[in-house]
Amino acid sequence: MLGNFITGVSILAPAGMLPELSHEFGVSIHEAGLLITFGAIVLCICSPVSAWLTSRFDRRVLLSVTVAIMAAAQFASMIAPNYATLMAIRLVMLAVAALFTPQAAGVAAMMVPPERRGSTMSYVFLGWSLALAVGLPLVAYVASHIGWRVAYSGIGVIALLNLALLIWRIPGGLVGTPVNLSTWGDLARNPLIVLLLVITVLQTSGQFVVFTYLGPLFEKLGGNSQLAIIAFGIYGVMGFIGNVIASRVVDTWGAYRTSLTAIAMLLVGIAMWALGAGLVPVMLASMVPWGMAFSSANSMQQVRLAGAAPLFASATVSLNTSGLYVGQAIGSGIGGFLFSHEMYYAVGYVGVGFLVLALITVFLSRR
């Protein structure tokens, strides 16, 4: 769970410091946002590839090396002299970081009996909720009040702590089912898995159209970019609460019903943002349903994928993680285009469109 926290903060940190990075390196907000977009493309490609290449590795060694490289990258980012160097460090780091979330899910699935798999995987993914509940608001606050370089160093220190805990606590000798090239073909021919991956791409695209540029949007629509720190906090705290609730009810409700509820709440939250754009109380209130649903929606996707092909959980979860990053790239790319053309009110409605399509696809996946 702590490793997912580090991974989530490492991936999303630029979203909390876009104005500071833009000012420091003399680039536009849109160009600074490319740290998210290009990073998501790297993550998308590397997640399934790394799952294939490392399927025979001891999981304790694999997770520990991944976190060690993430820690080193944070300290390297702290001293980056220019935008190009920061981008290069980030892309190298994310090529390795793509390993962590799917392999963590696979390790969790191997460490518990099948009847506890859903709640355990939801618990592991609380790390992403914490990254947004605590990590991202803290990154945004430190970047704006102390400095973005200090924010990177703080992430690095926590990553070193996580490294020590992984080495200490993860059992040795955990190796999953080897992933062969034929595995990807078998998974691609499974219609349920394909639908689940489409849901992931659509719901993530809809969120990241808005989420990537949350700070600049609050400045343009609400007059104060610092409101984004409050929004990140609400979003993350509600995400933590939502995932805790989902982990408690999934074993009785079932992953489909829990997933349907979460995607519907995402749609409500994004619709509130779109309709309330320019009204600060409504924009902040939209973070409540949106935040409560974002993490539980993703956790339920992982649970449904693990149930669809239990022996290949690390492969299917890596594909889902790749889908998350495809959605991040699509959403942040569209959001950056709209923002650079001053179409600030259109951003929310594009997000609503993606979430409507995601909800329809959830219905299609019911069986």
Per-residue confidence band for 101, with pLDDT thresholds at 50, 70 and 90: confident
Question: In the structure, what pLDDT confidence band is assigned to residue 142 with cuts at 50, 70 and 90?
Answer: very high
pTM for the model: 0.78
**C-alpha angle with apex 232: 134 to 355, nearest 5 degrees?**
120
**Percentage of the residues of the chain whose pLDDT score is greater than 90:** 44
Question: How crowded is residue 353: how many other Cβ atoms within 10 Å of its Cβ?
Answer: 16
Taking each helix axis as running N to C, give the angle between helix 83-97 and helix 18-25, from 0 to 180 degrees, rounded to the nearest 10: 140
Q: For residue range 110-136, list pLDDT tens digits in order.
A: 788 777 776 777 778 778 878 877 888
pLDDT tens sequence across 168-189: 988 887 776 666 667 777 788 8
Q: Which of 33-42, 81-90, 317-326, 332-341 has the lowest average pLDDT?
A: 317-326
- Between 55 and 153, the more confident residue is 153
Quote the pLDDT of residue 176: 66
Question: What's the pLDDT score for residue 321?
Answer: 78
Buried (b) or exposed (e) across 304-329, using 16+ Cβ within 10 A? Answer: bbbbbbeebbbbbbbbbbbbbbbbbb
* pLDDT digits 0-9 by tens, 210-252: 988 888 899 899 888 788 888 888 888 888 888 788 878 877 8
pLDDT value at 146 more than 90: yes
Is 90 exceeded by the pLDDT of residue 253? no
Share of the chain above pLDDT 70, in %: 97
d(C-alpha 184, C-alpha 24), whole Å: 43
Instruction: Write the Ramachandran bin of 190: left for phi over 0, alpha for psi from -120 to 50, otherwise beta.
Output: beta
pLDDT at 314: 66
